Structure 1
Amino acid sequence: METLKDRFHQYWLLARFDKPIGILILLWPTLWALWIAGNGHPDTLVLTVFVAGVVLMRAAGCVINDYADKDFDPHVDRTKLRPIAAGKVTPREALIVFAVLCLTAFGLVLTMNWYTIALSFIGAFLAASYPFMKRFTHLPQAYLGAAFGFAVPMAFAAQTNEIPLVGWILYLAVLLWALVYDTMYAMVDIDDDLKIGVKSTAILFGKRVREITGGLQIVILGLLITVGVMQQLSWPYYGGLLAASVLAVYQQKLIFHFDKPNCFKAFLNNNWFGLVVFVGIVLAYGL
């Protein structure tokens, strides 16, 4: 007989709390924005709310993604054991878990200023609608970037009550970064996606995926350099970007032969990309 503990374990798996890599990849750009908006000293309450919000909204995004893909996941090797696909959690339960996570996150946002609260509705809409985009467009990875990068303008709004130009430039860099790493992730599923009719940038870019993602990585680094110049950040920031550029080259090496395990490694490596940029920002403000 299933216990309450077993049920909550399935919800834990549904929200992907057992795989924190997604939390980290979303957390790094949020921390970039908070440190820049706060000139190296983000408000403690704002920092706490945004870190918790990233954890909750990433979990909510995973839940609504599995709900949206409930008819696809059973046919994909990598996803067929997910709780909904495996019949361990019902679609109705998933919607309840999604609602609880979103409402909890919204409760945290209510401690922020009205500008941030207003922006949270846009962020929530983007996060909830993203999983359905793969049915209609070959650019769901760009939509993912718009959704989960939205913490960047929200962070500026919470910290400064405005979104300056540098905030939008950073948002664009984060959006493109998500497009790149989620394309690498989509390369792992490309055969299954073609079979079941799901769209992705990995399919759209085809044999040019390496050149296009490589070009986008150059643009991302250019945008991050622009942020550094606008904020007059000192040399450790550029040291962080140099380390990030080395990691970008390594990621291109991993995806070069379209080997699926290595494409997944390239996706995972973006955690370190986010980390080295953040370390550069912290050290730049520290000096």
Structure 2
Amino acid sequence: MIIERLENRLCEYALLMRLHRPIGIYLLLWPTLWALWLAGNGQPPRGTTLVFIIGVALMRSAGCVMNDIADRKFDPHVARTRDRPLAAGRVSLGEAVGVASVLCLLAFALVLTQNALTVKLAFIGLALALTYPFMKRFHHFPQLHLGAAFGWGIPMAYAAITDTVPLVAWVLFAGNILWSAIYDTQYAMVDREDDLKIGVKSTAILFGEQDRRIIGYLQLAFIALLIGIGLLTGRGWLYYLACFVAAWFALYQQYLIHNRVPEDCFKAFLNNNGLGSVIFCGLLLDFLPASTP
């Protein structure tokens, strides 16, 4: 009986952390890996890479729990979120706070294995993660705040490997904010009608009928920044080929959101996992000749 109850609680905690939907981990992981490979010239330290990969999983999970805590009064009124453990009452507020606290403490313990600059930057990352869930109440750009939270691993990765945060790290960080605005607006297009009813804000609501066009402009700017990063870091043709393929991913997303069908907008959001992986594969292959003996 005790074991069965424990299994039930762990299952609910896993659902609370969205471990059954790892897309958020991937979208946080790809830019972190981009930064690790660029900062490490294609050979980032294995220990540092492992710390960041585990840290990404922990902080994304913590972010999901904190988001559900902040939205616990909104989620029961949204079709897509009403069955989440906290919204449905299967997990208490105290349990959710406890889970988030443990995850953050574990992530911080990992950060303590890195240098002082990385530890200092981690406090800013925690502040971004804690405040993001509340931004949709105050302004229409929570997607930009998400981009900063999801992309904070970029300056941290550079700090961990080089003990500094150069200009290229901030260019990459800016690119990730644009990318996050793209995919989270696509995500918000799924919930636009429910969000309008309950009064929360998003770029999808702000952009209105101009949503597809503005997403297109953001996609162009994002690809341009990726190319700029290639120029700043002296990347080769394999990286630029990856940028070209990423542009086709962006075009396909435009096709998916053309009629604003919620299911297709969600597919466009998920498609960004492929885009992020293509850029990483481009970096991996581009650095490979230099790293092979």
1:220-264 alpha-carbon deviations (Å, 9 max, x no partner): 111110110011101000010000000000001100111110000
1:22 partner amino acid: G
Identify the residue that residue 268 of structure 1 maps to in structure 2.
270
Alignment partner of 1:146 is 2:152: no
In the TM superposition, residue 55 of structure 1 has moved relative to its aligned partner by: 0.2
Alignment partner of 1:181 is 2:183: yes
Identify the residue that residue 35 of structure 2 maps to in structure 1.
33
In the TM superposition, residue 27 of structure 1 has moved relative to its aligned partner by: 0.6
In the TM superposition, residue 148 of structure 1 has moved relative to its aligned partner by: 1.0
Q: More displaced, 244-253 or 2-11?
A: 2-11
Alignment partner of 1:229 is 2:231: yes
Give the Cα–Cα distance (whole angstroms) in 2 for the partners of residues 19 and 266 of structure 1: 16
Give the Cα–Cα distance (whole angstroms) in 2 for the partners of residues 137 and 93 of structure 1: 29
1:76 partner amino acid: V
1:29-65 alpha-carbon deviations (Å, 9 max, x no partner): 1000000000000011110000000000000000000
Give the Cα–Cα distance (whole angstroms) in 1 for the partners of residues 33 and 211 of structure 2: 29
Identify the residue that residue 203 of structure 1 maps to in structure 2.
205
2:35 partner amino acid: A
1:96 partner amino acid: G
1:93-145 alpha-carbon deviations (Å, 9 max, x no partner): 10110000000000000000000000000000100110000000100011000
In the TM superposition, residue 22 of structure 1 has moved relative to its aligned partner by: 1.2
Identify the residue that residue 91 of structure 1 maps to in structure 2.
93
1:105 partner amino acid: A
Report how many aligned residue pairs link the two structures: 287
In the TM superposition, residue 25 of structure 1 has moved relative to its aligned partner by: 1.2
Q: Alignment partner of 2:86: what SS?
A: coil
Q: Alignment partner of 1:41: what SS?
A: coil
Identify the residue that residue 285 of structure 1 maps to in structure 2.
287
1:259 partner amino acid: V
- From 66, 77, 97, the equivalent of 1:64 is 66
In the TM superposition, residue 183 of structure 1 has moved relative to its aligned partner by: 0.3
Give the Cα–Cα distance (whole angstroms) in 1 for the partners of residues 28 and 275 of structure 2: 12
Q: Alignment partner of 2:21: what SS?
A: coil
Identify the residue that residue 14 of structure 2 maps to in structure 1.
12
Give the Cα–Cα distance (whole angstroms) in 1 for the partners of residues 253 and 284 of structure 2: 24
In the TM superposition, residue 21 of structure 1 has moved relative to its aligned partner by: 1.3
Q: Alignment partner of 1:3: what SS?
A: helix
Give unmatched runs, 5+ long, in structure 2. Answer: none
Give the Cα–Cα distance (whole angstroms) in 1 for the partners of residues 212 and 161 of structure 2: 37
Give the Cα–Cα distance (whole angstroms) in 2 for the partners of residues 272 and 60 of structure 1: 24
Identify the residue that residue 218 of structure 1 maps to in structure 2.
220
2:269 partner amino acid: F
Give the Cα–Cα distance (whole angstroms) in 2 for the partners of residues 44 and 62 of structure 1: 27
1:91 partner amino acid: L
Give the Cα–Cα distance (whole angstroms) in 1 for the partners of residues 180 and 234 of structure 2: 25
Q: Alignment partner of 1:71: what SS?
A: coil
1:152-190 alpha-carbon deviations (Å, 9 max, x no partner): 010000010001100000000011101110000000000
Give the Cα–Cα distance (whole angstroms) in 2 for the partners of residues 14 and 272 of structure 1: 25
Q: Alignment partner of 1:226: what SS?
A: helix
1:199-224 alpha-carbon deviations (Å, 9 max, x no partner): 00000011001111100110011111
Alignment partner of 1:109 is 2:136: no
Give unmatched runs, 5+ long, in structure 1. Answer: none
In the TM superposition, residue 5 of structure 1 has moved relative to its aligned partner by: 0.9
Q: Alignment partner of 1:89: what SS?
A: coil
When the two structures are superposed, what TM-score results if normalisation uses the length of structure 1?
Answer: 0.99
Identify the residue that residue 258 of structure 1 maps to in structure 2.
260
